[in-house]
């Protein structure tokens, strides 16, 4: 709904865009700022924006860190949702789904959004299927659902299908670290599963790395193919990519941000 009217509750301003109803321009504000702003009313808030960030221990990895990039990306998306009249909710996923922010609307809630994301810390293992089911039960309103995860949960595919069953438009932002995308050779290295605590000693010679890169490519390709078949927008993000480039190149040109 794009209904507007003086009987509705005023909540915020936004910049004028071509085609907007001129009746709702705040001319007093224009006189002070020489810029056009439209008054926003509660009935304009139609889109539910569900931002789901993987907060499992596997995300606490990489230089730069995967969870740090995930929080930054969710902060950008959440801010855009708030000022664009979305009803924004943010959940941290592990084996459960903790609603850490929202549902909320309006630019004034941006500081609370940033504070909530800053408090998200890695913990436990992630069961994406269970976590998404928990979230969907609490927040039933369909809209736009963005999952930001390394997808290392064995149940990622079931989690994706649960999001689709939520009747939301789904976006998957697949976050991986440079050490995962292109590991360096090593004579001997001990690998630690951050979620289970298990370790394994391996030798990362050229042959082992070639096999690893091949399997990684197949795995990422399978995820991207499933997303394409399901009508899900997919972007793979490296934490080595600066946030500005992630936003301007990957999210904007990928049609996730407009």
pLDDT digits (tens, 9 = 90+) for 47-86: 899 999 999 999 999 999 999 999 999 999 999 999 887 8
- Whole-model pTM over 0.95: no
pLDDT of 10 reads: 57
Residue 51's DSSP bridge partners are 90, 146
One domain for residues 36 and 163: no
The neighbour count for residue 40, using CB atoms within 10 Å, is: 23
48, 135 in Cβ contact below 8 A? Answer: no
The reply to whether 92 falls in a domain is: yes
Asked whether residue 237 carries a pLDDT value surpassing 70, the answer given is yes
Looking at the structure of the chain, the number of domains it has is 2
One domain for residues 153 and 25: no
148 CB-near residues (< 8 Å, 6+ apart): 51, 52, 53, 54, 70, 73, 74, 173, 175
The reply to whether 107 falls in a domain is: yes
Confidence bin at 90 (pLDDT 50/70/90): very high
One domain for residues 244 and 119: yes
Asked whether residue 8 carries a pLDDT value surpassing 50, the answer given is no
Asked whether residue 186 carries a pLDDT value surpassing 50, the answer given is yes
What separation in angstroms does the CA of 12 have from each of 25, 109, 150, 184?
12, 11, 35, 50
At 140-181, the pLDDT tens digits run: 888 999 999 999 999 999 999 999 998 889 999 999 999 999
Distance CA 36, CA 130 (A): 46
One domain for residues 36 and 134: no
147, 52 in Cβ contact below 8 A? Answer: yes
Domain that holds residue 87: 47-180+234-252
Note the Cα 144 to chain centre separation in Å. 10
One domain for residues 125 and 243: yes
């Amino acid at each position: 709904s794009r209904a507007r009217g003086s009987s509705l509750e005023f909540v915020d301003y936004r910049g004028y865009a071509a085609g907007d109803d001129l009746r709702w321009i705040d001319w007093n504000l224009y006189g002070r700022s020489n810029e056009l702003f439209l008054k926003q009313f509660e009935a304009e808030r139609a889109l539910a924006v569900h931002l789901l960030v993987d907060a499992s221990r596997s995300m606490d990895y990489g230089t730069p860190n995967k969870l740090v990039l995930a929080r930054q990306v969710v902060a950008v998306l959440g801010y855009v949702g708030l000022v664009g009249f979305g009803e924004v909710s943010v959940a941290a996923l592990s084996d459960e789904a903790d609603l850490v922010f929202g549902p909320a609307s309006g630019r004034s809630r941006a500081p609370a959004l940033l504070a909530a994301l800053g408090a998200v810390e890695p913990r436990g293992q992630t069961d994406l299927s269970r976590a998404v089911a928990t979230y969907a039960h609490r927040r039933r309103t369909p809209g736009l659902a963005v999952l930001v995860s390394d997808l290392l949960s064995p149940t990622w595919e079931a989690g994706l299908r649960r999001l689709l069953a939520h009747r939301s438009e789904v976006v998957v932002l697949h976050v991986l670290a440079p050490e995962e995308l292109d590991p360096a050779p090593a004579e001997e290295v001990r690998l630690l599963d951050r979620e289970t605590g298990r370790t394994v000693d391996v030798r990362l010679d050229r042959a082992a790395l070639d096999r690893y890169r091949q399997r990684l490519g197949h795995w990422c390709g399978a995820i991207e193919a499933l997303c394409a078949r399901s009508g899900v927008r997919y972007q793979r993000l490296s934490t080595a990519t600066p946030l500005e480039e992630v936003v301007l190149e990957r999210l904007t040109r990928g049609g996730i941000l407009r």
